[in-house]
Structure 1
Amino acid sequence: MASELDQVGPRLRAARREHGWTLDDLAARAGMSASTLSRLESGKRQASLELLLPLTRRLGIRIDDLLANEAGDPRVRRAPTKRNGMVVAPLTLDDSPVQTFKITFPPTATTPDPRVHDGFEWFYVLSGSIRLMLDGVEHVIERGEAAEFSTHVPHSISASADGPAEVLSIFSASGERLHTRLSDD
């Protein structure tokens, strides 16, 4: 437990500096003396809820943000899934704030029906070429190119008829649910 508390002071100092505040600035905002804050940051004063609550509120952080995080296994071990001929391989942990996938699109002569939903999407073409229908306009995105767009705009994504295409896709949470977890239509 002592090692977790050892990080409170340095993390508090880092959060204060991110705001560009001096000791006096934050201490005044939190209603404490600059010397008390200095002793907290240097580890010479034991942290208490009474002292930390006003500081974290002014800094816009949680008390948990000041505690050491347990370093878990960083490897992503989520199995690829298949949907409508696509292979969707997760590249981020399930609880990541943004979801990233490697998606392999099968070749197709037709484009899927456009959809609209909450979110934002970004993708990078690793191989092949992608047809991005965006608000009724077809854009061909080639290997080495990227595209980004609001998913509030009618859109569909597919490989060309020439062959499969692989992309790295980054989704907001709502976009990820729609593109990777819906059942086959």
Structure 2
Amino acid sequence: MGGAPRDEFDGIGPRLRALRRERAITLARLAEVMGVSESVLSRLESGKRRPTLELLLPLARIYGVPLDDLVGAPRTGDPRIHLKPLERFGMVFVPLSRRPGGIQAFKMIIPDTPTPREATPQTHEGFEWLYVLNGRLRLLLGDRDLTLGPGEAAEFDTTLPHWLGSADGRAVELLILFGPQGARTHLRATPDRAHRHRQ
């Protein structure tokens, strides 16, 4: 069957606006809770700003809905997880959990990159744990530049500037657990360091 593929984020703005109004939350209050400007949220709801995982994850927690509800993944009566990849910034994220709050699990795929991606560290509220399945991952964390291979893991506070990419231009596959501020996995890391664990 032909036709252009449906954009994963079509209709997300109206869904976000409807959820906010259902819960009687003002834009001002939501902006305060998330630590972003009202204009960012307003443009997100109007479709003038493309959503990012950094915005969608906290919104899913605040509204108490699974992430795939925000991006319009259809519900079925099947209890199995239906993996619906999200492509952002040239990387693929496959949600592995449907929990409306708490820790979210993803498989992340960084494709082959003949031309190295520009390193653009980001910060946001939360805590992240990652485990490299295949390939060599470059992790920029604060002023540290780390390379992790298969079987290595890192855990860090995402309020630190961080960036993930391929260390050698080849594809990288990893598992990511992302939790709200204060929600950590059993691996512990100090706020200014990433601990690597080889299996």
Q: Does 1:138 align with 2:148?
A: no
- Deviation digits for residues 62-111 of structure 1, max 9, x if unmatched? xxxxxxxxxx8542124111112211111001525211000001234244
Q: Which residue of 2 aligns with 1:181?
A: none
Q: Does 1:160 align with 2:167?
A: yes
**Identity %, equivalent residues:** 40
Q: Which residue of 2 aligns with 1:99?
A: 104
- 2: CA distance, partners of 1:112 / 1:91: 26
- Deviation digits for residues 102-156 of structure 1, max 9, x if unmatched? 0001234244211111110000000001100011221001111001000111111
**Aligned-pair distance for 1:161?**
3.2
- 1: CA distance, partners of 2:145 / 2:170: 17
Which one-letter code corresponds to 1:120 in the other structure?
F
Which one-letter code corresponds to 2:97 in the other structure?
T
Aligned to 2:137, what secondary structure does the other structure show? strand
5+ residue gaps in structure 2?
A: 1-76, 182-199
Q: Does the 8 A contact of 1:107 with 1:161 survive in 2?
A: no
Aligned alpha-carbon RMSD (Å) = 2.0
Q: Which residue of 1 aligns with 2:28?
A: none
Could you tell me the TM-score, scaled by structure 1's length? 0.51
* Runs ≥4 residues deviating over 3 A: none
Higher mean alpha-carbon deviation, 120-129 vs 75-84, is at 75-84
Between Structure 1 and Structure 2, how many residues are aligned?
A: 103
5+ residue gaps in structure 1?
A: 1-71, 175-185
**Aligned-pair distance for 1:158?**
0.8
Which one-letter code corresponds to 2:153 in the other structure?
A
Q: By percentage of residues, which structure has more helix?
A: 1
Q: Which residue of 2 aligns with 1:85?
A: 90
- 2: CA distance, partners of 1:146 / 1:131: 12
**Aligned-pair distance for 1:173?**
4.5
Aligned to 1:163, what secondary structure does the other structure show? coil
Q: Does the 8 A contact of 1:99 with 1:173 survive in 2?
A: no
Structure 1 or 2, whichever has the larger Rg, is 1
Could you tell me the TM-score, scaled by structure 2's length? 0.47
